[in-house]
Amino acid sequence: MRVILETKERKKPFLPIEAETIIPSNFLKGPELTVYEGNKERLLSDLFTIVVEGTAVSPDKVEVVLKGDTARIKRVGEYMATGTIRIQGDIGMHCGNFMSGGVIEIGGNADAWLGREMLGGSIICHGNAGHYCASGYRGEKHGMRGGRVEVMGNAGDFCSEYLTGGEVHIHGNCGDMAGVEMKGGQLIIEGDATRPCGNMKDGMCMIFGTVHRILPTFEKIDTKKLPDRNVTVTVYKGDVANRGKGTLMIQKPHNEGDQHPANTLPGPATT
Amino acid sequence: MIIKDVVCPFCGCLCDDLDVEVDGQKIIKVQNGCTLAEATLTGNNRLPAPIRRTANGWEEISYDDAIRETADILCAADRPLLYGWSSTHGEAQSIGVHIAELIGAVIDNTSVVCHGPSILAIQEVGHPGCTLGQVKNRADVIVYWGCNPTEAHPRHMSRYTTFATGFFVPEAQKDRTVIVVDTRRTESAEIADEFIRIERGGDYEVLSALRAIVRGKGSILPREIAGVAREQLFRVAEICMKAKFGAIFFGLGLTMSNGKYKNVRNAIELTDELNRHTKFTISPLRGHGNVYGSNEVFTWITGYPYAVDFARGIAFYNPGETTAVDILRWGECDAALIVASDPGAHFPHAAAAHLAKIPTILIDPHRTATTPLCRLQIPCTMAGIDAEGTAYRMDGVPIRYKKLIESLYPDDADLLRRIHDRIREVQGA
Amino acid sequence: MTELLVKNACVIDPLNRILMEVMDIPVRDGRIVESVSAGADIIDAKGCLTLPGGIDSHSHVCGTKVNFGRYMSPEDMRAGRTARRGKMHVTSGYYVPTTYGNSYRYSAMGYTTVLEGAMAPLEARHTHEEFTATPHQDMLANTLFDGNWAIMEAVRAKDVKKAAAIVAWTLSAVKGYSIKLTNPGGTEAWGWGEDVSSIHDAVPNFNVTPAEIITTMIEANELLHLPHSVHLHCNNLGKPGNYRTTLETFDLVPDTNNGRQTLYATHVQFHAYGGTTWRDISSKAEEIARAVNAKPQIVMDMGQIMFGRTMTMTADGPMEFNLYCLHHNKWSNHDVELETGSGIIPVLYSKKSLVNCVMWAIGLELALLTKNPFQCLLETDNPNGAPFVKYPEIIGLLMSKRYRDEECATLVDGTEQRTAICALDREMDWNEIAIMTRAGQAKALGIAAEGKGHFSKGAEADIAIYPIRCRDVDPATEYRKVIEAFRKTMYTIKRGRVVAREGDIIVEGANSTFWVNPVVPDDLNVANDPEFVKKFEEYYTVRMGNYPVQDVYLPRGKCIRTKAAL
């Protein structure tokens, strides 16, 4: 079954829509769902043109397609356990929070907290991801614990904060402090990063672009050849400000007198 | 008439030992206070009556009309914001939260532009702190990190730290070692025994290095960390570990520089680490008089210290998303009530500019930089001058503001209660 | 005049020795009366269990420390969120809920009175503000004196009258109810990052011992004729082998009050550990219970832990730091100048942890081994051992050996060897549960005379009607029904008004706060003592004139005046 949700024109297009009801399993019983637009509860059909093609007997056979002005729609795919969501354009914050299975594919950019506290399944974002991509929640000890997040563009600050399990793969650059508080899992950054892995307790981070300002509390212990990529990386242990059991591998360390690059990514202020 | 033991409502120190001479409705003289206190208590820039913007400028309107219009605007909004709260008392703050519940608003306080990052850090790692008297009576090592109390909290040093006589520190200046850490040599740095000058944005690295030293892993550190010689950090770590009681105070230099809350978190974890060797505490130097009170009141009613979103009935919290600056900057907000604060002066341009585009109401005694952004301003009393009520000092000690002079204005708590009741009427209808 | 008649109530009222009598309860203007007119509102209890409103005699629900627990825990606030509905405000949180969350959940369980376990005098105004926002329970505040400099100086001078006078001034200034000592002496030592490790250690710089503080304060408490006894959190909380400290402390306590105990020892589960390290920790509940059985002057509460996530919060700063070193979780500490300390860390009590299993068993053992239920009250030191919403499960465990056995079967190996829980056959009856949840508390706190915890004529009409018929249920086997019944009343009535119906709060509520004002002769009043005033002004950072809590903070304050025998 395929459910196509195309946004209708709205009087106040800047109002956020809280749409955690948009997960594949909810459409098995039909599209009579509600979402919040600002502080008003609305029928899904008030905000979207809904087209349902075919039928499905189980949620894994449901595909939800989001079209139109979707950049302000938050929480799509929250708690989803199976099925597929495809977003043609940009998507709002908290896409795929707590997701435990299934697939989310985002054609454009994803706003902040993409895949927050994710448990399983996979998210692929063809554009950029905002701040706190694949991170945790305020005050919670564990961030993402399983599954896979792949971002073809850049990610903002605090990417994979509190990463505990699973894999995060950023093809572009990361902002400041990727992998901060990491305690497990694997973070791969193809592009540049600044001050990665502060306070890291465990887990592994590999960075193949230029790394600005490696923290002074990472200890260089080795160099290592990665045969599948045919590159040599410097291996650090850290963060010794903490227990220091994490592994950071960097292809191009660059520490001398460089500045923090201006962050031009979308996303909220990191208040 | 002289009123003794007056509480100054200006900054988070809430000094409560001022003597104020009043004559009828006028404050004539302030003793014991700093210059900021004197300016606050004797200042006179009150808006005489509620005003409404019209095509031809401002017109005066009645309180009844102003209240009715405020309630109507808030009830009609899809994403209302209630912001401010730090320069009023807890009684008003509490009604503000209840209004937010009623109308599904976002309610936020001025923490968003000062110590919000400290709160986020505390939510990650906790907060080993104490009341200020504990520092005054015991601390032999004082650290000021990213703050300049000489200018922003002028009596902090004389009442609580460097120059204060304490029970176990009878000769304040001789018995206390003062360490100042900053990116520039401030006035406070001039009186420091040890001044650490950090390159801009390098606080996180320096704090990490200190933690490593305290953990006995200093040997891996490079010669210089963010412009600071390793040897100086070893020396400072030694001073801290040998302290009988150490106290770190930090300000916006730490919370608002690169890394923001992670800087604060790092400082807290340094404090935790030092507690394995001796006694150490850390405390944010809170700015506005009762901003900490707004955190306390919000917390016991909603569970969260700031940035609370009631859009869906329940309380939701996620700074960066539900913070006033963010919902304005993103253009989400479609009506705003500003109480006892001046976002026109403190918000980033994009956020302030949005306030001018939507119906914004200001409840504040004074004409401020926010006034030009508003559709409506309703003057009220000023907590601590012509209204009494509860305020929380930067260390959590609750103090009652005194009413020094009779007022010509309604208390903001009364205004808010009337708005609250009017909203219930509108909703009931 | 408002009148209410609760009909067909199956009443258990231990203080009046009423046991499962089906009767009517007439109420006028908030009080129990002889009879009401025919026009009275009627509630039909349908033969269901009807008890005086529940009383919690040791719970952390309001004040600086509790609010800091909330402040630092957005992750807990996500649990148990409810939206505004009818008369109910928004609530958030599971183990450190908002004030309304606490109040509604207590009310749903039939609780109408709660004593906040620890209020620092300097921060009392905060506690009272939160009391007002906890509208469905009458509140009382234990007031901390464990590290009070003026008190320690009086103890050193062996001047019990002075100590009593300081207590009297402080209680009336901060509108407190009773004397609380938390790790006496230890909180002052924590000002230097240290602790005391026995009741005979000297407190640094003050040259007094915890034992001296405890005995002096007990004597001062009785001189002041306070309604409650000294309320003590013993030294060495949570340390293996600490039962010796607890027994030594109990040996200090004279039997000097005919009406009630002279010592209330709180959360004793945390103080009943044998062994020397966490590896060989064992239960010493038998020794503790034996001592309490022999000493009518002592009342304790269980301090039961229940498995799951919760938050520990106490004035015992050094203990919390030790706990932080074990758990590496977030840690907050808040020392209060010249008075006390406090600490907060979140914990997870796990059935996979032998230490936690032993702790769980000890609380139950204490209750089951204490002969007189008036001497061992049902508490979890909320939220330290568990949030209070777990009380119904604890009731189930106390009433059913089968339920205990089922639970024991899920615990880690070794629990049976380290404790006696599996060997205990006692099953508490309805009357004993009523004692352990209200009558005992009323007596121990000294509020029976204020009309709490019983249905005598003139008593406050705080009534909890639970959806269960005692005679139709066998708690030993049908403990699930018992637990369900205690989770949610049919009606919770406070001061003659229905507050909660089947778990829903139906009125805004307006509580009272009880506080004590012991009247002391002028020449002993410390406010007139220049030395006391001078030290106050020199070492506190708040002026003495700004310290007392104004009446406006207690809109319905109930002052209990006592005449001190000084």
pLDDT digits (tens, 9 = 90+) for B147-192: 999 999 999 999 999 999 999 999 988 899 999 999 999 999 999 9
Looking at residue C53, its pLDDT comes to 98
For residues C395, C400, C405, C411, the Cα torsion angle rounded to the nearest 10 degrees is 0
> Quick one: closest CA in C to A117, which residue?
C75
Mean pLDDT for the stretch of residues C382-404: 98
Q: Which two tokens stand for residue B424?
A: 């219930």
pLDDT digits (tens, 9 = 90+) for C321-360: 999 988 889 999 999 999 999 999 999 999 999 999 999 9
For residues C370, C376, C380, C385, the Cα torsion angle rounded to the nearest 10 degrees is -40
Q: Are B338 and B375 in contact (CB under 8 A)?
A: no
Among candidate residues C370, C336, C21, C206, the one with its CA nearest the CA of residue B135 = C336
Question: Distance (Å, rounded) from C-alpha C483 to C-alpha A44?
Answer: 41
Q: Distance between terminal CA atoms of chain A?
A: 42
**Residue B115 touches partner C, C-beta closer than 8 Å:** no
In a domain, B395, yes or no: yes
Task: Please report residues of A whose CB lies closer than 8 A to that of C329.
Answer: 141
In a domain, B21, yes or no: no
Q: Is the pLDDT of residue C61 over 70?
A: yes
Residues B207, B95, single domain; the answer is no
Does A140 contact C75 at a Cβ distance shorter than 8 Å? Answer: yes
> Quick one: closest CA in B to A137, which residue?
B318
**Residue C72 touches partner A, C-beta closer than 8 Å:** yes
Mean pLDDT for the stretch of residues C483-502: 98
Using CB atoms and an 8 Å cut-off, which of residues 309-328 of chain C contact chain B?
A: 321, 324-325
Question: Distance (Å, rounded) from C-alpha C82 to C-alpha C103?
Answer: 13
Distance of CA A228 to the CA centre of its chain: 26
Residues B278, B323, single domain; the answer is no
Pick from A39, A139, A244: which is nearest to B124 by CB? A139
Pick from B98, B390, B396: which is nearest to C129 by CB? B390
Q: Is the pLDDT of residue B25 over 90?
A: no
State the CATH number of the domain containing residue B125.
Answer: 3.40.228.10
Q: Are A200 and A182 in contact (CB under 8 A)?
A: yes
Instruction: State the angle between helix axes of C160-174 and C210-223 in degrees (0 to 180), rounded to the nearest 10.
Output: 70
CB contacts < 8 A, A to C, total 15
Task: Please report residues of B whose CB lies closer than 8 A to that of A14.
Answer: 330-332
State the CATH number of the domain containing residue B330.
Answer: 3.40.50.740
Q: Which residues of B383-404 are buried (b: 16+ CB within 10 A; e: fewer)?
A: bbbbbbbbbbbbbbbbbbbbbb
Does A38 contact B312 at a Cβ distance shorter than 8 Å? Answer: no
Residues B269, B350, single domain; the answer is no
Domain count, chain B: 2
Which of B257, B284, B311 finishes a domain?
B284
What ipTM was reported for this prediction?
0.97
Report DSSP letters for B83-143, one per residue: EE-TTS-HHHHHHHHHHHHHHT-EEEEGGGGTTHHHHHHHHHH--EEE-HHHHHHH-SEEE
Looking at residue A255, its pLDDT comes to 56
Using CB atoms and an 8 Å cut-off, which of residues 31-60 of chain B contact chain C?
A: none
Residues B77, B167, single domain; the answer is no
In a domain, B35, yes or no: no
pLDDT digits (tens, 9 = 90+) for B400-410: 999 999 999 99
Residues B105, B209, single domain; the answer is no
Q: Rounded to whole angstroms, what are the CA distances from C421 to A5, C239, C350, C362, C414?
A: 60, 20, 18, 8, 12
Residues B343, B360, single domain; the answer is yes
Rounded to two decimals, the pTM is 0.97
Q: Are B172 and B141 in contact (CB under 8 A)?
A: no
Looking at residue B429, its pLDDT comes to 64
**Residue C340 touches partner A, C-beta closer than 8 Å:** no
Please tell me whether residue A42 adopts helix, strand or coil conformation.
strand
E-strand ranges in chain A read 2-7, 17-18, 34-37, 40-43, 48-53, 63-67, 73-74, 84-87, 103-106, 122-125, 148-151, 167-170, 183-189, 193-194, 202-212, 219-226, 231-238, 246-254
In a domain, B399, yes or no: yes
Computed over every residue of chain C, the mean pLDDT equals: 97
Residues B262, B133, single domain; the answer is yes
Does A216 contact B330 at a Cβ distance shorter than 8 Å? Answer: no
Residues B303, B276, single domain; the answer is no
CB contacts < 8 A, A to B, total 131
Does B130 contact C336 at a Cβ distance shorter than 8 Å? Answer: yes
Looking at residue C1, its pLDDT comes to 82
CATH numbers and ranges of domains, chain C: 51-458+462-505 (3.20.20.140)
Please tell me whether residue A105 adopts helix, strand or coil conformation.
strand
Report DSSP letters for C57-126, one per residue: EEE--SSHHHHHHHHT-HHHHTTT-B--BTTBPPB--SSS--HHHHHHHHHHTTEEEEEEEEE-GGGHHH
Residues B277, B373, single domain; the answer is no
Residues 6+ apart with CB under 8 A from B52: B58, B59, B60, B61, B65, B66, B69, B375, B376
Cβ burial, residue B241 (10 Å; 0-12/13-18/19+) = middle
Query: Which chains are within 8 Å of B by 3+ CB pairs?
Result: A, C
DSSP label at residue A261: P
Per-residue pLDDT of chain A (271 residues; tens, 9 = 90+): 999 999 999 999 999 999 999 999 999 998 899 999 999 999 999 999 999 999 999 999 999 999 999 999 999 999 999 999 999 999 999 999 999 999 999 999 999 999 999 999 999 999 999 999 999 999 999 999 999 999 999 999 999 999 999 999 999 999 999 999 999 999 999 999 999 999 999 999 999 999 999 999 999 999 999 999 999 999 999 999 999 999 999 998 775 444 444 333 444 443 3
Does C329 contact A141 at a Cβ distance shorter than 8 Å? Answer: yes
Question: Distance (Å, rounded) from C-alpha B261 to C-alpha B268?
Answer: 10
Work out the widest C-alpha separation in chain C, in whole angstroms.
69
Partners of residue A148 on adjacent β-strands: A122, A167
Does B166 contact C539 at a Cβ distance shorter than 8 Å? Answer: yes
In a domain, B27, yes or no: no
Query: Which chains are within 8 Å of A by 3+ CB pairs?
Result: B, C
Residues B89, B125, single domain; the answer is no
Please tell me whether residue A214 adopts helix, strand or coil conformation.
coil
Looking at residue B173, its pLDDT comes to 82
Q: Which two tokens stand for residue B405?
A: 């002079």
Question: Distance (Å, rounded) from C-alpha C344 to C-alpha C321?
Answer: 9
Smallest CA–CA distance, residue C136 to chain A, in Å, is 29
Task: Please report residues of C whose CB lies closer than 8 A to that of A139.
Answer: 72-76, 330
pLDDT digits (tens, 9 = 90+) for C85-120: 999 999 999 999 999 999 999 999 999 999 999 999
Residues B273, B297, single domain; the answer is no
Vertex B120, ends B301 and C314: CA angle to 5°? 60
In a domain, B10, yes or no: no
What percent of chain B shows pLDDT beyond 90? 97
Question: Distance (Å, rounded) from C-alpha B225 to C-alpha B210?
Answer: 10
> Quick one: closest CA in B to A257, which residue?
B226
Give the domain extent around B403.
46-114+289-428
Q: Are B288 and B341 in contact (CB under 8 A)?
A: yes
Please tell me whether residue C494 adopts helix, strand or coil conformation.
strand
Q: Which two tokens stand for residue B78?
A: 């899809």
Using CB atoms and an 8 Å cut-off, which of residues 87-116 of chain C contact chain B?
A: 89-90, 92-93, 97-101
Q: Is the pLDDT of residue C247 over 90?
A: yes
Does B320 contact A199 at a Cβ distance shorter than 8 Å? Answer: no
Q: Which two tokens stand for residue B91?
A: 């009684």
Residues B299, B419, single domain; the answer is yes
Which of B284, B316, B336 finishes a domain?
B284
**Residue C78 touches partner A, C-beta closer than 8 Å:** yes
